[in-house]
Amino acid sequence: MKNILLLGSGGLRVGQAGEFDYSGSQAIKAFKEEGYRVILVNPNIATVQTDQSMADEIYFVPLQQEFVAPIIAKEQINYIALGFGGQTALNLGLELHHSGILAKHNVQVLGSSVTTIEATEDRDIFRDYLEKNAVKTPKSKSATSVAEAIAVGQEFGYPLMLRAAFSLGGLGSGKVFDEADLIDKAGKALSGAPQVLLEEYLTGWKEFEYEIVRDLKGNSLTICNMENLDPMGIHTGESIVIAPAQTLNDEEHQNLRNISLRCAEIFNIVGECNIQFSVNPANGDYRVIEMNPRLSRSSALASKATGYPLAFVAAKLCLGFSLNQLTNQVTKKTTAFFEPALDYVVVKIPRWDTHKLRLADRHIGTEMKSVGEVMGIGRTFPEALQKAVQMLNIGASSLHDYLWPIHDLRREIEFATDRRIFALYKWFYAGGDLYEAQQLSRIDFWFLNQIKQIAEVALQVKHELTPNTLRTAKQFGFSDKSLATLTEQAELTIRHLRHEHNIRPMVKQIDTLAGEFAAQTNYLYTTYHGRYHDISPAQEVYVIIGSGPYSIGSSVEFDWCTVNLARQLRLHGKQVIIINSNPETVSTDYDESDRLYFEPLSLERVCDILDFENVVGVCVSVGGQIANNLALPLHKLGYPILGTSPLDIDNAEDRAKFSSMLNELNIDQPRWINAKSSEEVQAFIGEVGLPVLIRPSYVLSGAAMKVVSDHKTLASYLSDAVLISNDHPVVISQFIENAKELEIDGIAQNGRIIIDSISEHVENAGVHSGDATLVFPPERLYLKTVTRARESARKIVKALNISGPFNMQFIAKNNELKVIECNVRSSRSFPFISKVTGQNLVELMAKVFLGEEISQKYNTLECGVIGVKSPVFSYNRFKGSDPVAQVEMSSTGEVACIGNDLLETFYMSWLGVGQRVDKKVILLSLDDKYKQKLLPLVKRLSDQGWLFVATGATHDLLVNSGIQSKFVFKISEQVEPNIQQEIIHKQVGLIINLPQDAFNTKDNSDGFRIRRLAIDYHIPLVTNFQLSEILLESLAEFYAKAIPVHSYRELLNGANHG
């Protein structure tokens, strides 16, 4: 049997999200179907592809050469697949090739060759290849230093476009205005990439993408073309994207299609590739911007938009199959050598979370900032666009009811932010001029006119709601909720009015064939432009509500839960429907459910689907908070909810009800009040003291949860950031400093726990659980604390009569234990706990939902291995944000490693995030309260040959303690040697910056500037004391050692036999 090594993409980050769980999972299925043994390397434990049922062997290790090389030797790898793990896999594959490791072990690269990959990734080679074949590219030159970049700038003139080679999601790219701007941007880009390209700036040109598949014999076809609503200058991952393209005439389309196929041939692509064009709207002239010789974010979108299983087909093509040998798995009627046809419109909108990061810049451009995306499907552009807006879960159910004021529409339209589409709608709703909007935005008139028509329909509805205007509004994508807002009525009133006039959505199929052949598919969407349903209702089905777009706070962990529940229910012989809106997920794959609805996760649309289908039960427990919030409304409307009663879910979700219950159970909790005035706040603080945790219900300036440590900060926060009144109360909680935080995840049946697992946070309370480093089983908790937490959980589960999943969070200090919250749903740590214990929590959940009696109580505390889960942050994408983890979650993903030793496992997990300490030099920037505490560890590292860099008092302390230290001045002192130069010139390998008050950092401080420089120049940064302790311990123990690699199966078997 031949062995294929598949490289995953690691933790989710901006520019590289869950689309690679989808593509990797499909590749594993395709390879195994042909009898290959698949070995997967991916530390992202929350993915479906890392389930035991997928690859033959799984390694939860960092995607770094020193960990992957031993696996190649150990597993006797024959082939390596680089095209299914994003830029991370591609770059690692090139590193393995250049180091000679692949040649040494006779490993063959599947699909497009290394020569092809380098030709498309290296900007100079790419341009030369295309120019030799008379394919137009932007006028450009590369540079490998800032000095070379300046010379190019002087030759070309400004503005210029700067792009970094071998980069992810446009990282390091941007419009360059002048030489000073070039020096700054080129310096930062070259700190993380070997080369930059400077090219002519194609202002106002339109942008298009083509997805191509090509086999070894040279057969090729275009799967999909897509058009960016935004013109050049905004990254395709940041743009609203429409498929198929709407503003190309047939001649232009055929020209770009032909060039795409030529490009695939020029570079000898085998598998799949993505080609990006810019087109001059004035004369149709074009440029090829770039090419990805791998599955990408756009590939996932194209696959879900067309119903063509791109990743599966690409994997088969890598094995040498030709297109005409493969059957389209979606239609079962045609071969893969058949270009999809669309009789609908698809609109992708990115999901941004910049507002969750303090000080982050909201403007969008050539670098990606969006965390996720949604895909709306309709028969027209307005319908698809407004459905996509609903899917974003940002509080807007259409373009009309965006929650936040936009004060300067003209500026918002000209200088794009994440709110531009809403600004355009408001512009036209207020009677703004079409021509002026085009001059400001450079967006094509066709799209602007469509948005203008949406605004005009809203004005008609506001004037008078008749059966005709109601039908028109629904065809233009307006939700019942937005129509209720426009007409000042209740949402259910609009729903009843629709039903009274028989205005209901029709269910349609995506079959890749535009109905040309009779094909039954399970890809479904709804539209108000149809006259009949394409399918009949299913009988006795279970409906699972997915988690929607990836965002900060809701990521691939919930998709793992969704997919696992669907698989378990189907194993029990049940029919399953999944409703979701995210094209990057495994749950929206063609073979994960009996029916898939690509629809908004709104009460309106879920009810429409439940009314059409014959439903046995609805699961709201695996889609995160989005799905959980639907439990009570669906219950009140009479729909059957699986598991815990929605009334009991509400008892856990409602703070007052939950608090009363804890008092009745004699379970301790932090003191809190629901304050309706500043006077109530001051009175409460007089009783409990500072600090306190504030949770506002209505936010003025983008602020959210905050720990307040002094009266001055409190006064400014309550006056400037939040509105406090009878209608908008503020929850104020006692904040307990220096407390440990722990969590319990589990499954219960009829109020009895059948499995529970306790994990501890490395960081003290005050860091959001999603940003914390998690250790399971707990290593540093007292047995008494564990016992008391389990007893409290037992009481709460019984009181809420939980049947299904739950997650509880506690804080412990000085032998006191307090409950923070209880979520009666799956948590983001479910996949982590399931894989470390080897006991799938969702498998037990499915049995509970189906009424199967479970008498056994599962023990997890003695599982025999240790798991450490580390957060993945994308601060380098959010310019200006302060990279300090706080009570508001800011991480975009996670990784985890499993081992037998805490320090070793922690260190591997920390490296798995993508960190690498290149020099044995550590910059210490510490508040006084941490210096003596860290001194013994610093001394130990110094004895091992590590060097330290510090300012004034810290430097003196180190020297007086016999530790070698280099003195530097603070940035603000502007004297050499200076911290800033040490960082810019990468003279340090690690920066430990521990602020005095992590909850109230100042953006004009030296500490903030150090943290930002660390992020911008790609140097590992630690800002938490507990994390710095365990990291320094790990470096002392393992930095110079080769850590042995063990597969997941070996670790579990060792634990079971140990």
The tens digit of pLDDT for each residue in 932-976 reads 999 999 999 999 999 999 999 999 999 999 999 999 999 999 999
Amino acid letter, 1016: D
**Residue 700 confidence (pLDDT):** 42
Does the pLDDT of residue 169 top 60, yes or no? no
* Cβ(282)–Cβ(252) below 8 Å: no
Backbone φ, ψ for residue 682 (5° rounding): -65, -40
Token pair recorded at residue 938: 């610093």
CA 824 to centroid of chain Cα atoms:
23
Provide the percentage of residues in the chain whose pLDDT is more than 90: 78
Q: What size, in residues, is the chain?
A: 1058
Check the CA dihedral 128-130-131-136 and report its sign: negative
Q: Is 206 within 8 Å of 295 (Cβ atoms)?
A: no
Whether the pLDDT of residue 701 is over 50: the answer is: no
Residues 6+ apart with CB under 8 A from 737: 691, 764, 766
pLDDT at 163: 84
Query: Tokens 């629709």, residue?
Result: 498
Mean pLDDT of the residues in the chain: 93
CA distance 992 to 990: 7
Q: Position 659: which residue type?
A: S
Q: How far is CA 1030 from CA 110, 775, 867, 998, 1026, in A?
A: 40, 12, 15, 19, 7
Q: By mean pLDDT, which of 252-256, 413-417, 875-879, 918-922 is the weakest?
A: 875-879
Angle between helix 445-463 and 420-429 (nearest 10):
60
Instruction: Say if strands 206-214 and 220-228 run parallel, antiparallel, or are unpaired.
Output: antiparallel
| pLDDT, tens only, 288-315 | 999 999 888 889 999 999 989 999 999 9
Using pLDDT thresholds of 50, 70 and 90, give the confidence band for residue 555: confident
The model's pLDDT over 494-537, given as tens digits with 9 standing for 90+, comes to: 999 999 999 999 999 987 776 666 667 789 999 999 999 999 99
In the predicted structure, residue 556 carries a pLDDT above the cut 80: yes
Rounded percentage of the chain residues whose pLDDT exceeds 70? 97
Tell me: pLDDT of 721 over 80.
no
Give the residue among 630, 657, 941, 979 at the shortest CA–CA distance from 799: 657
Residue 88 CB partners (closer than 8 Å, separation 6+): 7, 8, 9, 10, 16, 63, 168, 914
Does the pLDDT at position 743 exceed 60? yes
CB 842 within 8 A of CB 825: no
| Top-ranked range on mean pLDDT: pick from 392-406, 725-739, 743-757 | 743-757
**Residues 440-465 pLDDT 10s:** 999 999 999 999 999 999 999 999 99
pLDDT of residue 53: 95
CA 57/CA 1052 separation, integer angstroms: 12
- The DSSP result for 726-749, as a single string, is SSS-EEEEE--TT-EEEEEEEEEE
Per-residue model confidence as pLDDT tens digits over 804-843: 999 999 999 998 999 999 999 999 999 999 999 999 999 9
Q: What is the pLDDT of residue 167?
A: 67
- Enumerate domains of the chain plus CATH numbers: 3-118 (3.40.50.20), 121-327 (3.30.470.20), 346-503 (1.10.1030.10), 507-642 (3.40.50.20), 671-734 (3.30.1490.20), 740-864 (3.30.470.20), 918-1038 (3.40.50.1380)
What pTM did the predictor assign?
0.94
Is residue 957 within 8 A of residue 1023, CB to CB? The reply is: no
Which residue, among 835, 843, 827, has the nearest Cα to 865 in the 3D structure?
Answer: 835
Span 329-376, pLDDT tens digits: 777 777 899 899 899 999 999 999 877 776 678 888 888 889 999 999
Asked if 209 contacts 348 with a C-beta cutoff of 8 angstroms, the reply is: no
pLDDT of residue 702: 43
User: What is the C-alpha separation between 277 and 205, in angstroms, rounded?
Assistant: 10
Residue reference for tokens 């407390």: 739
Please report how many Cα atoms fall inside a 13 Å half-sphere around the Cα of residue 705, on the Cβ side: 14
Query: For the CA atoms of 286, 290, 291, 294, what is the dihedral angle to 10 degrees?
Result: -140
pLDDT in the model for residue 715: 84
Least confident of 120-129, 367-376, 698-707, 746-755: 698-707
Average pLDDT over residues 76-100: 96
What type of residue is 757? S
Look up residue 965 and give its two tokens. Answer: 């230290």
What the block records as the tokens of 992 is 């430990």
Q: Once rounded to an integer, what is the mean pLDDT over residues 914-925?
A: 95
**Cβ neighbours for 13, distance < 8 A, ≥ 6 positions apart:** 168, 872, 873, 874, 877, 892, 893, 914
- How many Cα neighbours within 13 Å face the side chain of 115? 6
Strands 241-243 and 220-228 come out as antiparallel
3-class state of residue 199 by DSSP = strand
pLDDT of residue 29: 97
